[in-house]
Chain A
Amino acid sequence: MNRRTMGKALMGLATGAAMLALGVGAAGAQEKMKVGFVYVGPISDHGYSYQHDQGRLAVEKELGDKVTTTFVENVPEGADAERVIEQLASSGHKLIFTTSFGFMNPTLKVAQRHPDVKFEHATGYKRSANVATYSARFYEARTVIGQIAGKMTKSNIIGYIGSFPIPEVVSGINAFTIAMREVNPKAEVRVVWVNSWYDPGKEAEAAKALIDQGADVISLHTDSPAAIQVAQERGLWVFGQSSDMTRFGPKAHLTAIVDDWREYYVNRVKAALDGSWKSQDTWGGFKDHMLFLAPYNPALPADVVAAAEKTRTDIMEGKRHSFQGPVKDQSGKVVIAEGKQATDEQILKMDWYVEGVQGKVPK
């Protein structure tokens, strides 16, 4: 079974499961807990929302005898989101996952009206007694791919396609650059902002522009596979984002950062079932299985793969930190002192580039 048919089968399963959930609810199986999921995109995006839905399916699979799940996809961030969340809360869902940053305020508003319902909000920073937050330490994976980029580049120019200059993206660029410079001090990162999460045309143009300027490895923090196709066509290297994008450029795709919510969702649903659930903030990385890397491109030399795997396991075991001092900013000033590591707060508010990145962070 290839990925495509598997995706279709999973989609069919999801639809079936949703229908089943509604059917079972109507039949009055009261003892099963209802769990709701709200997605910002379509589950067919093969990226961000698709990965969240994989988490929901894992819950179905593991706890299907105790819970039923419902999902609502393509929910715009804003007033509509509040209506959707309210609808789930008032229709008997006891645990609701709202999976996009823009659902933060709507989630809190609905949570206030439904103190008996538990909420989980992804990537936000506001919590309350019945709203927990969770996110992944995406920058950890960028350390690994930055190291690979440093070893694979010949032109010593790496192109980086950014969405918006927010701390999550900037800290990713910095983690990438630090690891890249460690193995290749001559390499530099050139960033192009496309000011969108999803605009395939613009992402492709950005990739072409960077390649025309001499970049031979492209990293991206946008959601479409357009840049993968460009790299494949031009015969260069690229890293995928959010999910495995190998099929868009089998020769060019080195690996991808993949979000993985399965374990977290299963654990949180279990906690809600046995009454141990409480509001908390979870920021997990490799160690918590919230991230993994897609299979390495067979064209990668064995020593590069071995080094990448070592970096990954070192991060997992806490032997290595993505922002291990000394870390210098572009002016050469030491921002994170020798022997120190960036605090979570520093990472969450990062708005400056490290040495090795060209240009300035747009303000």
Chain B
Amino acid sequence: MSAELALLGPILAAMLAAATPLLFAALGELVVEKSGVLNLGVEGMMLVGAVCGFAVAVQTGSSTAGFVAGAAAGAGMAALFGVLTLLLLANQVATGLALTLFGVGLSALIGQGFVGIPIADVPELYIPGLTDLPVIGKALFGQDALVYLALAAVPAVHWFLYATRKGLILRAVGENHAAAHALGYKVIRIRFLAVLFGGAMSGMAGAFLSLDYTPMWAEGISSGRGWIALALVVFATWKPGRVLLGAWLFGGVTIAQLHVQGLGIDIPSQLLSMLPYLATVIVLVVISRDVARIRLNAPASLGKVFHPDA
């Protein structure tokens, strides 16, 4: 096996791990947007989830408790967003942006006493035989539990949205809230639950970063991953399976560019750092050419304020 081929396994494994936080956050946001709400506060919810998850893990010594706390904290932030936009009818875009700014500050405040504290890493899966398989062993059978959870969430979200009655109702609310309301569905309650789910998923994404990916708390640890997750939802034209592809593409390019540098291949590193973003822009341009395709998948009531009298 050549040296380059031997690298393929580690690159695959690292790619799956790098894609995990994006997958959590993007799947959560996808459900939120399918219900007709646009929450741009993903980055802020991720940060608050990361710091709360870390704080609880430090206090209790249990990373499981940390993940649960991270999800709860993310949901708490989302609840704030829900109250402002769904009950008080504030503008969703402005509130979402404010939620991110608020999350950046709040997480730094909570995290003050937790900077520079090391915690134990979450152990990785090890199945004798399978994990030792060449190339795919480590990638498929040697990851952290959360990586598998994120992967499992893809078919779960898809199943919920397209194979259950509740998913159908949620999509109906997102397509035409007035009609859904007329049919007797509780638009605000359904959307609020979707927003809470999105917040919990963002919180999990953050907790994965602070507990597992780099087990520490640092201000701004998410480094823009929340924004990438938002872009991924559009990139995937609101389809869970494509979110997975997008997350892998992002993770893959991020990891590959580091390897290219290490091998001394003469491509400017700044250009490589730019590639995932460039890929998003290109895909957005390509799918935007086909307006019908976007119309077909984009929730028709996305970002529109719902007033029961309307």
Contact = CB atoms under 8 A, between A and B. Distances in A.
Contacts of A317: none
Interface stretch (A96-104, A204-212, A299-307, A318-326): A204-212
A201 B50 CA distance: 13
Given A233-B121, A359-B264, A42 B219 contact: yes
B258 A206 contact: yes
Interface string B210-230: 000111101111010100000
B268 A363 contact: yes
A249 B11 CA distance: 24
Interface in A134-189: 159
Given A195-B270, A225-B216, A212 B7 contact: yes
B18 A205 contact: yes
B265 to A, nearest CB: 8
A226 B214 contact: yes
Interface string B189-233: 000000000000000000001000111101111010100000000
Interface stretch (B111-119, B166-174, B235-243): B111-119
Given A193-B261, A209-B259, A362 B223 contact: no
Contacts of A248: 118, 216
Interface residues on A, range: 35 or more
A359 B265 CA distance: 6
A229 B261 CA distance: 22
A4 B118 CA distance: 10
A8 interface: yes
Contacts of A191: 261-262
A83 B30 CA distance: 42
B22 to A, nearest CB: 11
Contacts of B261: 190-193, 359
Nearest to A227: B214
Contact of A200 (B14, B216, B262, B268): B216
A195 B257 CA distance: 12
B117 to A, nearest CB: 6
B218 A224 contact: yes
A25 B104 CA distance: 33
B269 A7 contact: no
A199 interface: yes
B254 interface: yes
A209 B260 CA distance: 9
A204 B118 contact: no
A8 B117 CA distance: 11
A213 interface: yes
A247 interface: yes
Kindly name the residue among B108, B218, B220 whose own CB sees the greatest number of chain A CB atoms within 10 A.
B218
Kindly name the residue among A194, A213, A224 whose own CB sees the greatest number of chain B CB atoms within 10 A.
A213
A362 to B, nearest CB: 5
Given A226-B214, A229-B216, A360 B266 contact: yes
B263 interface: yes
A212 B11 contact: yes
Interface string B28-64: 0000000000000000000000000000000000000
Contacts of A114: none
Contacts of B216: 200, 224-226, 229, 248
A198 interface: yes
A44 interface: yes
A314 interface: no
A309 interface: no
Contacts of A201: 18, 209, 213-214, 221, 223, 225
Nearest to B222: A201
Contacts of B14: 205, 208-209, 212
Given A42-B219, A44-B112, A212-B11, A192 B214 contact: no
A358 interface: yes
A45 interface: yes
A195 B262 contact: no
A270 interface: no
A180 to B, nearest CB: 17
B219 A210 contact: no
A4 B10 contact: no
Given A198-B218, A200-B221, A208 B10 contact: yes
Contacts of B7: 212-213
A46 interface: yes
Nearest to B259: A209
Interface in A213-227: 213, 215, 224-226
Nearest to B210: A200
A209 B255 contact: yes
A358 B215 contact: no
Contact of A204 (B117, B214, B259, B266): B214
5 contacts: A42-B115, A194-B258, A201-B213, A205-B258, A359-B265
Given A190-B264, A193-B269, A359-B266, 11 more contacts: A42-B112, A42-B219, A45-B115, A190-B262, A199-B223, A209-B10, A209-B259, A212-B14, A233-B121, A359-B265, A360-B264
Interface of B: 7, 10-11, 14, 18, 108, 112-113, 115-118, 121, 209, 213-216, 218-221, 223, 225, 254-255, 258-259, 261-266, 268-270, 273
In the complex, the 9 A-B pairs of residues with the closest C-beta atoms, listed nearest first: A212-B10, A358-B264, A359-B264, A46-B116, A209-B258, A200-B214, A193-B269, A226-B214, A44-B115
Interface of A: 4, 7-8, 42, 44-46, 159, 190-196, 198-206, 208-210, 212-213, 215, 224-226, 229, 233, 247-249, 358-360, 362-363
